[in-house]
Amino acid sequence: MQKKYDVIIAGAGPAGLMTAQVLGERGARVLLVDMKKDIARVYRACCANLIIEPGTHRELVTYAGGAFHFAENKFSIPYGGSIIALKRSVKVSAGGKTLIISGKSPEGNVALSFEKEILLQGMLAKAAACSTIEIMPETQALRAENTADGVAVTLRYGGRECAAVSRIAVAADGVNSSIVESLGLNKTRRTAFGRFMVASCHMAGVDCPYPESWVTFMGKGHTLGGRGQIYMCPKPHSGAKDTVVYELTVGVPALGPPTPSAKQELDHFINQGNFASWFKHARIIDTRAAALNFATPLIHPVEGNVVVVGDAAAFIETYVQGAIMYGYQAAHAIAQQLATGSGLDAYARSWKHSFEYNDPEEIKLSTQGFGLHVLDDGDIDYLFGLTAGDDIHGFVNEFSEPMTVRGAIFNHMAQIKNERPALAGMLERFGEVSVKDALQVGSS
Amino acid sequence: MKIDAKKCAGCGGCVNLCPVEAISFIDDRARIDEAACTDCGTCAQVCGVEAPGK
Ligand SMILES: Cc1cc2nc3c(=O)[nH]c(=O)nc-3n(C[C@H](O)[C@H](O)[C@H](O)COP(=O)(O)OP(=O)(O)OC[C@H]3O[C@@H](n4cnc5c(N)ncnc54)[C@H](O)[C@@H]3O)c2cc1C
Ligand code: SF4
Ligand code: SF4
């Protein structure tokens, strides 16, 4: 049967947009659907920092001359927004002690803060300009089913369901993908990490004593419920050009009442938290959210004629740059498959090999650093205090940063053993901290 | 369950987590088809800004 589309792509985030763009350039007939009305708008929390550490996803992504460059995969994508170079990663304990990591890139940066909406606008414009790509906004992908010679994707548009068929379908509908769930692939994934809820806001007028920094608030005393992660960093914001805008993000395990929600924690942190004085003159510009099941990655991202790309195959940690890179790789593999009948395996291999969390050892390494979260606030104050004046270098990258922090603290092990032997013992056992404890999803 | 459109940030998170496809995304906000909703509570549990409620 002649199909109207070669490829249906469910989801037009960074992964779906990149897949569409490359397939369009290679002449494939593409249907790109997204449930958003305004596809480039960003309503979901995302710190949108470019991770510039060499080797992240076996790639090195840099910014120069109005474009992001992917050195290993040898492609670039234009980015027309501004960049704020983040010079430091500053970990702040509940008592106000800091552990400061300076940037390790040639320019001395830990990461680059960009405006995701501008990036997506550019990518969407490129896809829209391609004559073989049809874009359907306000269209929800519900399910996909493999057929003998293709895929049937069930869509919901204007309250009605309809089916669209193609030779290949791409699940790029992000974390907790409906397509992945409908194919039964989540049965192969462990969801031991639990469910998380996130609330974030952009603010003008923040009196942050650590400019050009990725600030992480560590310890139980920052939150009402004693759990969760809080981050803050300056963001380029085209809606508020004449002032510095900060994004404050709170993520907490979604345990339901009486555990405070992410929004309650966000409000608490701004109004009554240990650093409420930073926000005395702050004005909230917008609020975002995110809801996610943290499941282990989908080790094999191809099921019949369906290819899973970006966060749909993981949790949120392919990052924007990984979603783009995997979109690029998947599109070339799909074009090859359409032309020759094989190609998807190459994509599956490259995903398995390059996405860090496919390797259980990597999960262990990052949770060893996260282990700090289980310490008492007094211990964190003490440990951060020891690092005052140290010259620590690294990147903002959750695959390596925990080890940078660990190394900085372990440098003082002789003193810790001497002064606080019990704490030294705990630190040495960090390798055994379970993922559950580290992410505080169990009961405390 | 109902979603308060004024509270909903439009993150889309609950849409894919609803086990019975009862949530649609309309005008960039989540909306529940109350006839399809089984009141399982998932959307309320995961929403960071407390938009779903009775
Ligand atoms: C709190 C937080 C902080 C983060 N910080 C960073 C960071 O600093 N740097 C970084 O690079 N990344 C960060 N990320 C991760 C980053 O947001 C993702 O990795 C990236 O957006 C993944 O891109 P994607 O295209 O795979 O999925 P998404 O960006 O999630 O895009 C999915 C698209 O599919 C659409 N969609 C979803 N479901 C359906 C459906 N059923 N039907 C139709 N359309 C659908 C959505 O509207 C969306 O447009 C962060 C994420 C979170 C939650
Ligand atoms: S999880 Fe909350 S903020 Fe996100 S779409 Fe659902 S109701 Fe809206
Ligand atoms: S309560 Fe459960 S069934 Fe009802 S909309 Fe929310 S997630 Fe879906």
Task: Name which of B11, B17, B47 is nearest A43 (Cβ-Cβ).
Answer: B11
**Structure confidence at residue A367 as a pLDDT band (50, 70, 90):** low
Nearest to A70 by CA among A57, A86, A80: A57
Decide: B38 in ligand 3 pocket, CB within 6 A: yes
- The SS3 of residue A396 is coil
Judged by CB atoms closer than 8 Å, whether chains meet at B9 and A288 is answered as yes
Chain B partners of A173 at a C-beta cutoff of 8 Å? Answer: 16
**Superfamily covering domain A84-109+193-295+360-444:** D-Amino Acid Oxidase, subunit A, domain 2 (3.30.9.10)
Domains: count for chain B: 1
Residue A442 has pLDDT above 60, yes or no: no
Which residue intervals of A51-193 are DSSP H helices? 116-128, 178-182
Over range A184-210, report the average pLDDT: 90
Radius of gyration of chain A (CA): 22
Q: Give the integer Cα–Cα distance in Å for A69 and A73.
A: 9
* Nearest-neighbour CA in chain B from A420: distance (Å): 38
Judged by CB atoms closer than 8 Å, whether chains meet at B24 and A156 is answered as yes
Please give the distance, rounded to the nearest whole angstrom, from the Cα atom of residue A58 to the centre of ligand 2.
Answer: 34
Give me the total of CB pairs closer than 8 Å, taking one residue from chain A and one from chain B: 96
CB A380, CB A416: distance < 8 Å = no
CATH 3.50.50.60-classified regions of chain A: 4-48+115-190+297-358
Judged by CB atoms closer than 8 Å, whether chains meet at A292 and B46 is answered as yes
Provide the CATH number for the domain formed by A4-48+115-190+297-358 in this structure: 3.50.50.60
Angle between helices A344-354 and A319-340 (to 10 degrees): 160
Within-domain flag for B8: yes
pTM, rounded to two decimals: 0.96
- pLDDT tens profile A237-251: 998 888 899 999 999
Q: Which residues of chain B are at the A interface, by a Cβ-Cβ cutoff of 8 Å?
A: 9-17, 21, 24-28, 41, 44-50
Q: What tokens does A16 get? A: 């779906």
- pLDDT tens profile A11-58: 999 999 999 999 999 999 999 999 999 999 999 999 999 999 999 999
Q: Give the integer Cα–Cα distance in Å for A299 and A169.
A: 18
- pLDDT tens profile A294-336: 888 998 999 999 999 999 999 878 999 999 999 999 999 999 9
Within-domain flag for B54: no
**Closest Cα to atom 48 of ligand 1:** A13
Q: What is the atom index within ligand 1 of the atom nearest the CA of A320?
A: 11
Instruction: Answer with the residue of higher pLDDT: A400 or A213.
Output: A213
Decide: B8 in ligand 2 pocket, CB within 6 A: yes
CATH number of the domain within which B18 lies:
3.30.70.20
Judged by CB atoms closer than 8 Å, whether chains meet at A288 and B25 is answered as no
Q: What tokens does A160 get? A: 């009605």
Chain A partners of B17 at a C-beta cutoff of 8 Å? Answer: 176, 291, 293
Residue A397 has pLDDT above 90, yes or no: no
The residue segments making up the domain with residue B11 are 2-43
**Closest Cα to atom 35 of ligand 1:** A11
Q: Percent of chain A, pLDDT > 90?
A: 82
Cα A378 to chain centroid, rounded: 30
Q: Where are the beta strands (DSSP E) in A279-429?
A: 283-293, 302-303, 306-308, 392-394
- pLDDT tens profile B9-51: 999 999 999 999 999 999 999 999 999 999 999 999 999 999 9
